[in-house]
Structure 1
Amino acid sequence: MSGIEHNTVPDPAAAAFELRKTVVMVGMMGAGKTAVGRALAARLGVPFLDSDAEIESAANMSIPEIFARDGEKFFRRKESQVIGRLLNEARGVLSTGGGAFLSAENRKMISERGASVWLNADLDVLWNRVRHKDTRPLLRTADPRATLSGLFEARVPFYSQADLTVVSDGDAAIEEMVDRVIAALLTRPDVLRRI
């Protein structure tokens, strides 16, 4: 099974845009990378790709199971391989795991072959979105909110190196977020242009 979703129903307005590079969604867990990325792909009429889903499919295990069995270092190596492969496939929208953009190798690869969009959500928004989920291996700690806060502080300097930044606040509906991402992408005609 591939991480590309071919059953995405294209938006009738998709014909109005030409995607020239893969858009790579980066940011913290809970920022909305998958939900916004999937809706953006539908709006643009392009494939949606998810590096975490692709890794899970290839390993036939969940991300928490991979972390538990093989460790984070192994997972990060596989993640880089998968991102590289997905960037070479059809242009589309690629959602990455929260730690993917911390790797200099991944940032370079994404910059050369795609365009990164940081969904920048504040800590309270992120906590409200992830606190009831048990699918986040890095938050399986005695104080998950403090852990999330530490990850946030450590990762923001990396995310801020993304090609484009779009604010992801708690009140914005997914379609509004897609509008914001498209507006940001249109400032980069090498990535997206109206036709």
Structure 2
Amino acid sequence: MQSRTIYLIGPMGAGKSTIGRMLSRELNLPFRDTDQEVEERCGADIPWIFDMEGEEGFRQRETAVLALQMEEPSYVVATGGGIVTREVNRRLMITHGFVVFLQASVATQIKRTAKDKKRPLLQRSDREQVLADLYEKREPLYRQTADLVVCTDRGSPRHVIQEIKQAYFSK
């Protein structure tokens, strides 16, 4: 059995949490979600953190959570969409794990996040433009960080998991 953490990176709505939970069950590894960890450690939800500390405050908390996970055994970790914006986060994931970029088109992201009220960056009327701008800025960072790129627009989560497992065990 591999002993590396699997980090799932990608934009909002790519399926990081859903695929992460399923993959963790399949590999019998604990599952972590960096956004949930930040909320639990802070005692507040992400929109509140953004309101009180701004995006930079949230990103600092996110890096602290990521660094703490380096000291623990292997996990499947679903990260927040913007985790790659900090170079320290990219370096931590590359050094300590197997990084999978779950790629999703803006159209897919719009569909999957339509009813979500917990994403501070999407609490605007121009959601599609926000998602397109974020993707354009972050996509090169996702690619540079990833060991594997898997598109989640079509096909089942089961197919995505099989693709991840095959690459993970062949590395």
TM-score, normalised via structure 2 length: 0.95
**CA offset digits 1:166-189 (Å, max 9, x no partner):** 1112x322222211211222331x
Q: How many angstroms does 1:146 deviate by?
A: 0.9
- Partner residue, 2:150: 166
Percent identity (aligned): 34
8 Å contact from structure 1 (residues 36, 178) kept in 2: yes
| Alignment partner of 1:125 is 2:108 | yes
Q: Give the paired residue count.
A: 170
Q: How many angstroms does 1:87 deviate by?
A: 2.3
Which blocks of at least 5 consecutive residues in structure 1 are unaligned? 1-17, 189-195
Q: Distance in 1 between matches of 2:166 and 2:135?
A: 26
Q: Larger radius of gyration, structure 1 or 2? A: 1
Q: How many angstroms does 1:133 deviate by?
A: 1.1
- Partner residue, 1:91: 74
TM-score, normalised via structure 1 length: 0.84
| Alignment partner of 1:56 is 2:56 | no
**CA offset digits 1:34-78 (Å, max 9, x no partner):** 100110010000100111111000111111111011111111011
| Alignment partner of 1:110 is 2:83 | no
Which blocks of at least 5 consecutive residues in structure 2 are unaligned? none
AA in 1 matched with 2:155: A
8 Å contact from structure 2 (residues 2, 169) kept in 1: no
RMSD across aligned positions (CA): 1.1
- Partner residue, 2:159: 176
AA in 2 matched with 1:149: A
Q: Distance in 1 between matches of 2:169 and 2:107?
A: 29
Q: Which runs of 4+ in 1 moved over 4 A?
A: none
AA in 2 matched with 1:122: S
AA in 2 matched with 1:102: T
**CA offset digits 1:77-113 (Å, max 9, x no partner):** 1100100111221201011100001211111111111
Q: How many angstroms does 1:19 deviate by?
A: 2.4
